[in-house]
């Protein structure tokens, strides 16, 4: 399957390691059979690996699984879905392009008001 060949080229870059997880998110339309075939090929690769490539630390997931992984729910899920739609449709619609541009400017303005320790308040590390 050519999709898997393209994905497996990423394994050689060693983004994954003993203590790092490589998550590959499949974008676009994929049917359940294709996703299962890709994951079966990954499992075959894990079995064939001598452990030096740490393929056991590679996950290939759908966009919906990625959204769940990130913990998006409620309004955040709607926002995620909206931006995902924008990312696919922006080049086909001037209206969407200008909407994304407007939102980008607003986000830039909102971010100016944050202090440098905002991430600690949002995602406490301790």
The pair of three-digit structure tokens given for residue 35, joined into one six-digit string: 């996703």
Residue 26 bridge partners (DSSP): 62
Cα angle 110, 84, 99; round to 5: 50
The predicted-structure confidence for 65-112, as pLDDT tens digits, reads as follows: 888 888 887 778 888 888 888 888 888 889 988 988 998 898 888 877
**Highest mean pLDDT out of 24-33, 49-58, 73-82:** 49-58
Task: Specify the pLDDT at position 110.
Answer: 80
Three-state SS string over 25-85 comes to EECCCCCHHHHHHHHHHHHHHHHHCCCCCCHHHEEEEEHHHHHHHHCCCHHHHHHHHHHHH
Q: Is the pLDDT of residue 24 over 70?
A: yes
**58: burial class by Cβ within 10 Å (0-12, 13-18, 19+)?**
buried
CB-CB contact of 7 with 22 (8 Å): no
According to the model, what pLDDT value does residue 1 have?
A: 44
Please give the model's pTM, rounded to 2 decimal places.
0.66
Domain boundaries, the chain: 2-70, 74-122
Tell me what the pLDDT averaged over the chain comes to: 84
Under 8 Å between Cβ of 52 and 12: no
What is the Cα Rg of the chain in Å? 19
100 closest CA partner among 85, 122, 121, 115: 85
């Amino acid at each position: 399957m050519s999709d898997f060949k393209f994905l497996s080229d990423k394994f050689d870059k060693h983004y994954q390691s003993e203590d790092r997880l490589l998550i590959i998110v499949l974008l676009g339309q994929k049917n359940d059979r294709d996703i299962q075939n890709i994951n079966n090929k990954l499992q075959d690769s894990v079995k064939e690996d001598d452990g030096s490539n740490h393929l056991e630390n590679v996950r290939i997931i759908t966009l919906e699984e990625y959204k769940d992984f990130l913990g998006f729910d409620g309004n955040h899920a709607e926002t995620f879905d909206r931006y995902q739609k924008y990312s696919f449709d922006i080049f086909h619609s001037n209206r969407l392009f200008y909407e994304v541009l407007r939102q980008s400017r607003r986000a830039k303005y909102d971010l100016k008001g944050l202090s440098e320790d905002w991430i600690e308040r949002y995602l406490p590390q301790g």
